[in-house]
Amino acid sequence: MRRMQIEVLELPLARPFAISRGTRTAVTVIRVTLEQNGFIGRGECTPTPRYDETPESVNAELDALRADIEAGLSRLDLQSRLSAGSARNALDCALWRLDAALAKHTLWQQCERLQPPSVITAETLSLDSIANMAAAAADAVSRGAILLKIKLNRDEILEKVAAIRQAAPRATLIIDANEAWSGVDLPSLLNALVSFNIAMVEQPLPAGQDQALQRFAHPIPICADESCHTREDIAPLRNRYEMINIKLDKCGGLTEALAMVEEAQKLDMRLMVGCMLGSSLAMEAALPVAIAAEHVDLDGPIWLAADSSPFLTYAQGQIWL
């Protein structure tokens, strides 16, 4: 017999986190703990207002499935019982870890993936003034950051990128517009960004309003984030994007994320793995997917005032395993 526990926790941030949609000083996460025969499996999700999720709605989804989960609902059956989203992610990851514990496996072994010694991850530069973003970039590279992810809106785009490039001349730079570049002359802007050696631009236009991306050649690869949730989304995006960003909270867990890797590789789409703000518990679950990705953005825990077990080690721009 299984037992399920649901916790709703507010995690304060060490510093404000700003993107084009707003600023946060704390993040609310939901953790699921499954216990069976003395073995434990845990999962964490971050309800996201952008996808019409609240902590209350996600908690209700989880609680509604409690009887079936405690009666032994399998991870594969879960895929048809909950739609893609953060509720399914928390349960899916908890079930993966429970299955691993019951089999006396690590999560890597359960996924049939080889664990590397480390994974390079982006360090995010929160949206701020030109001077503050340049200073944040300089601080990040002084601590060994290899990959920087720049959060931007429509304001002072080139000026901010120029200042960051000057502060971090050797770092790989990727940009995340979070759907904010509607009305911007994208061909001209992307051509201007080429001189700063930008590796990728993420979701410049709103999901569902990105048809313009198929009308011109992209001098910089463009990655679908808000436009891509599950494997069914990938094929229709091939004429607009070169890359997709897989996030467990969007796709509904590790099971779907691994399927998305296979689908993307079959369709010759390049891969990024990202995250919502959250603890090491959430990031660790994404690592078996991250090893297949060209860019990894799993820096959620470094924004927290205090992380949670299992504690991942972040140093020199990498997650050390």
In this structure, is the dihedral angle defined by the CA atoms of residues 109, 32, 73 and 3, taken in order, positive or negative? positive
CA distances from 309 to 43, 267, 295 (A): 11, 36, 25
Please give the distance of CA 292 from its chain centroid, rounded to a whole number: 14
Is 247 a residue of the active site?
yes
Indicate which residue of 149, 151, 160, 250 is catalytic.
151
Which residue's structure tokens are 């904010």? 180
Q: Coil, strand, or helix at residue 67?
A: helix
Is 250 a residue of the active site?
no
* CB-based contact 149:124 (threshold 8 Å): yes
Indicate which residue of 104, 149, 160, 247 is catalytic.
247
Please give the distance of CA 88 from its chain centroid, rounded to a whole number: 15
Query: Which positions ≥6 away from 277 have C-beta within 8 Å?
Result: 11, 13, 17, 24, 27, 46, 300, 303, 304
Tokens at 73, concatenated: 């609902």
Burial of 70 (0-12, 13-18, 19+ CB in 10 A): middle
Catalytic positions, please?
A: 151, 247
